Amino acid sequence: MTCYRHPDRETRLSCSSCGRPVCVECVRAAAVGQRCPDCAAPQGRARVITAADIRGGGVSRAPVSTVLIGMSVGVFALTLVAPDLGRQLYAYGAQANGAVEAGQWWRLLTAAFLHQGLLHIGFNMWALYIFGPALEERVGSWAFTALYLSSAVAGGALFFLLGTGVAVGASGAIFGLFGAWLAIFTRSRNTVAGRAVFQQLVTLLAINLALPLVVPNIAWQAHLGGLVTGFAVSGVWLAASLRGPRRTPARALVAVLPGLLALGLVLGAGA
Q: What is the pLDDT of residues 36-85, one digit of tens each?
A: 888 887 765 555 555 444 444 444 678 999 999 999 999 999 999 999 99
Residue 231, pLDDT > 50, answer yes
Q: What is the pLDDT of residues 106-129, one digit of tens each?
A: 999 999 999 988 988 998 999 999
Give the span between the Cα atoms of 252 and 146, in whole angstroms. 6
Q: Are 11 and 22 in contact (CB under 8 A)?
A: yes
Per-chain mean pLDDT for the chain:
84
| Structural domains of the chain sorted by starting position, each given as residue range(s) with its CATH number in brackets | 1-48 (no CATH), 66-270 (1.20.1540.10)
Q: Are 23 and 13 in contact (CB under 8 A)?
A: yes
What's the confidence (pLDDT) of residue 179? 92
- Residues forming the active site: 171, 223
Residues forming a β-bridge with 21: 14
The closest alpha carbon to 162, from 223, 110, 119, belongs to 223
Confidence label for 25 from pLDDT (cuts 50, 70 and 90): confident
Torsion angles phi and psi, residue 188, rounded to 5: -110, 15
Q: What is the pLDDT of residues 10-21, one digit of tens each?
A: 888 888 888 888
